[in-house]
Amino acid sequence: MKFSEAEGEGAETPRQRTASNTAWLYHPMLWPYAAAKFATDACSWWLDHEIATVGYRYQAALPWTTRNEVVLELPSMRLRDFSRGQVGHPALICAPYAQHSALIADLAPGHSIVEALQRGGLDRLYLADWRSASSDMRFLSIDNQLADLNVAIDEIGPPVDLIGLCQGGWLSLIHAARFPEKVRRLVLVGTPVDVSVESELSRAVGWASPSALEAWVNSAGGVVRGDNMLRLWGRAPDIDRDLQGSLSPDISGDKELLDRFSCWDSATLDLPGVYYIQVVNWIFRENRLARGEFSALGREVHLDQVKTPVFLLVGADDEIVPPKQALATASLLGTPALGIEHATAPSTHLGLFIGGKTLATYWPRIAMWLRTEHPVLLSHGAISA
């Protein structure tokens, strides 16, 4: 198994994390759980001098699997261009701005969303690569992230096809509601939207009061340290189940893949404190997006304003965004039934993004759906190809 020489960011490798037995909080997209519980019983842990030290937490210098170039630098993200030509509609992968890097979309050969979409015939492909927060980014908000995503879309040339992964999905959905003319189609993969539906997540977030959460974030200088989260809540991952293969460290190719996954898992992102608190409170505690009470860049957005075709990919074994919750998004949209497609993969949450079988079976279907002419509901209700 060979990886390309695509450029990466030079950075220090984070110190090895200390594993705990809190298995149910392992998954890298699960930081709202950790934030809420931690705020109730472990604020004093942040007083540890070594953990409070600023400046060593950066994404590991892993090369990207697929060749690409950074075409735009913005305050909260880098826009990466994986395009092989200028034929077809542009697609932008919106990775989650959570505990781990956007490399989840291009982890390894056979375990790469980018690779799967390219094989499916998508030539114009981009990725939102979110930056690890430095101290001067601590006041960035959801609006800042949304604004940078909007600038990236303008740079590519709208309308684009937005592919939202996990929390990148609700951000993509907000953008589609705020700027409907800029999004042609929308793919939501393992995306939490209405967290009142069959969700442990909203209940777990409810453990912490807003004031406790703010005190917890402020104790770390206004930046949420990803490696501290991982150190507190991490455990040995079920790598074989997430990667969907019988892997052996004695086989050279498997060892390289396992080492690469371990390096990605250990290299965490720091998050702006303001953004973090907004996500925990607005998305996971108050459920504003599903309730129609979310304000984005000065305007209230409602999901029934989204009339673009939508594809929902959910995991049957997704322990973070259960199928019932992921599929409930469809009932909130203004897209007619004929414009909504969905597929349920036999997959865990992480397996939706890095599982070899899911990528080989379900992502080509997504690529075909994006390439095929499809009726789009216009604002006045007419249907057009």
pLDDT tens digits for 93-143? 999 998 889 999 999 999 999 999 999 999 999 999 999 999 999 999 999
Encode 177-190: b = buried (16+ Cβ within 10 Å), e = exposed.
bbbbebbbbbbbbb
DSSP-derived 3-state class of residue 220: coil
| Mean pLDDT on 193-206 | 73
Residue 335 lies in a domain: yes
Whether residue 39 is contained in a domain is answered as no
Which has more confidence, 245 or 158? 158
Contacts of 326 (CB under 8 A, 6+ apart): 188, 190, 191, 192, 312, 314, 315, 318
Q: Average pLDDT for residues 182-192, to the nearest whole number?
A: 97
Q: What CA–CA distances, in Å, run from 28 to 164, 226, 269, 273, 308?
A: 16, 10, 10, 18, 30
Range of the domain at 84: 60-202+235-384
User: What's residue 144's pLDDT?
Assistant: 98
pLDDT value at residue 202: 62
What gap in Å lies between CA 285 and CA 278, rounded to an integer?
10
Percent of the chain with pLDDT over 90: 61
Sign of CA dihedral 147, 152, 153, 157: positive
pTM tops 0.85, yes or no: no
Under 8 Å CB-to-CB from 27, ≥6 apart: which residues? 319, 320, 349, 350
- 31 vs 247, higher pLDDT: 247
Residue 15's pLDDT is 36
Task: List phi, psi (to 5°) of 89.
Answer: -80, 145
In this prediction, residue 362 carries a pLDDT of 98
258 is a domain residue: yes
Q: Which of 360, 372, 378, 330 has the alpha carbon at shortest distance from 111?
A: 360
Terminal-residue alpha carbon distance, the chain: 42
Residue 130 DSSP one-character state: E
Q: What is the DSSP string of 64-82?
A: PSS--EEEEE-SSEEEEE-
Asked whether residue 220 is domain-assigned, the answer is: no
pLDDT, mean over the chain: 82
Question: Mean pLDDT lowest for which of 26-40, 43-57, 91-105?
Answer: 43-57
Max CA separation in the chain (angstroms): 62
Of residues 42 and 71, the one with the higher pLDDT is 71
CATH of the domain at 68: 3.40.50.1820
CA dihedral 267, 273, 279, 284 (to 10 degrees): 90
pLDDT at 75: 96
H or E element, residue 358: helix 356-361
Q: What is the pLDDT of residue 108?
A: 96
Helix H or strand E segment including 374: none
Strands (E), 59-214: 69-73, 77-81, 91-94, 106-108, 111-112, 125-130, 160-165, 183-189
Helices 210-218, 31-41: inter-axial angle, 10-degree rounding:
90
Q: Over the stretch 214-230, which tens digit does the pLDDT of each residue have?
A: 887 888 889 988 876 66
Q: Which of the residue ranges 75-89, 149-163, 198-212 would you say has the lowest mean pLDDT?
A: 198-212
Q: Is residue 20 part of a domain?
A: no
Sign of the CA dihedral with 206 first, then 209, 213, and 214 last = positive
How far apart (Å, rounded) are the C-alpha atoms in residues 293 and 278? 13
Q: Is 35 among the domain residues? A: no
Element holding 34 (H helix, E strand): helix 31-41
Which helix (H) or strand (E) covers residue 312, if one does? strand 310-315
83 is a domain residue: yes
pLDDT classification of 319: cutoffs 50, 70, 90? confident
Give the count of domains, the chain.
1
Decide the pairing of beta strands 340-345 and 223-224: unpaired
Peptide bond into 364 cis (omega under 30): no
Q: Is residue 27 part of a domain?
A: no
Q: Which two tokens stand for residue 341?
A: 């497609």
How does residue 208 score in pLDDT terms, banded at 50, 70 and 90?
low
**Contact criterion met (CB below 8 Å) for 230 and 268:** yes
Say yes or no to pLDDT of 304 above 90: yes
**Which tens digits make up the pLDDT trace of 356-374?**
999 999 999 999 999 987 6
What is the pLDDT averaged over residues 66-86? 96
